[in-house]
């Protein structure tokens, strides 16, 4: 079902389509256009409690643009924003947090996915 929903979102939102496609280590978390994954940055653990994924991407974007993209895109994939947090979402027992490093225009974005 998630794959069908993701396919529909990708068709409806061309901004999601990107050469890299997804955040490394995931098959269902789109990588925002303008972000490029940093080679070797993905760490993936599969545990009985759920998956743990940490990955980093870099781009000439702003925090505002990245936050806006994921705020618009993630709910279409079943993620719910956690009120009071700038960049944290939950879905089906998982928590996703974005961590921003560096200045706007030379931004690194860390993706941390873990069980709740």
User: How does pLDDT run across 99-113, given as a tens digit for each residue?
Assistant: 999 999 999 999 999
| Closest residue by Cα to residue 104 from 44, 63, 66 | 63
Band of pLDDT at residue 49, cut at 50, 70 and 90: confident
Give the span between the Cα atoms of 53 and 77, in whole angstroms.
18
pLDDT higher than threshold 90 for residue 60: yes
Report the percent of the chain where pLDDT is more than 70.
83
The HSE-up count of residue 58 (CA atoms within 13 Å, CB side) is 7
In this predicted structure, the answer to whether residue 10 has a pLDDT above a threshold of 90 is no
pTM score, whole prediction: 0.81
Alpha carbon distance 98, 115 (integer Å): 15
Residue 20, pLDDT > 70, answer no
Q: How confident is the model at residue 5 (pLDDT cuts 50, 70, 90)?
A: very low
pLDDT tens, residue by residue, 80-89: 999 999 899 9
Q: What does the mean pLDDT of the chain come to?
A: 86
């Amino acid at each position: 079902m998630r794959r069908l929903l993701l396919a529909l979102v990708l068709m409806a939102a061309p901004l999601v389509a990107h050469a890299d496609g997804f955040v490394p280590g995931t098959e269902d978390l789109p990588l925002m256009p303008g972000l490029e994954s940093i080679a070797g940055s993905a760490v993936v653990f599969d545990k009985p409690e759920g998956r743990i994924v940490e990955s980093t991407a870099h781009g000439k974007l702003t925090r505002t643009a990245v936050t806006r993209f994921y705020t618009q895109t993630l709910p279409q994939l079943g993620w719910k924003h956690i009120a009071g947090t700038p960049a944290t979402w939950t879905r089906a027992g998982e928590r996703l947090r974005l961590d921003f490093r560096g200045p706007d225009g030379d931004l690194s974005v860390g993706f941390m996915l873990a069980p709740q």
